[in-house]
Amino acid sequence: MLLSTEASIDLSIPDAVVQMMVQAEPNMAMAIGGGYLVKRGDAYELEAQLKKGLLTVNGAPIPIPLGAVR
């Protein structure tokens, strides 16, 4: 079923909100450092797509452990 699923999301979060989130939960900074949230202008953006079992986040492929899906 995962191989036939297609989905996409474009998310934009204002910089001030991201900064509040990082202060409240410092591990949130890992999403920025890992490239999941990319700063563009005065907001952080995330673009994710799932197509034919391949997940990409901001253009980078993210492995999905298909053996773990039941």
| Model confidence band, residue 65 (pLDDT cutoffs 50, 70, 90) | confident
* pLDDT level of residue 58 (50, 70, 90 thresholds): very high
- With a cut of 80, say whether residue 5 has pLDDT above it: yes
Q: How many CB atoms lie within 10 A of CB 3?
A: 11
Q: Give buried/exposed letters for 31-59 (b at 16+ CB in 10 A, else e).
A: beeeebbeeeeebbebeeebeeeeeebee
State how far the Cα of 54 lies from the Cα of 7, in Å rounded to an integer.
11
Q: What is the pLDDT of residue 67?
A: 62
Pairwise CA distance, residues 31 & 67, whole Å: 25
Residue ranges per domain, the chain?
2-61
pLDDT digits (tens, 9 = 90+) for 18-44: 999 999 999 999 999 999 999 999 999
In contact, 53 and 3? CB cutoff 8 Å = yes
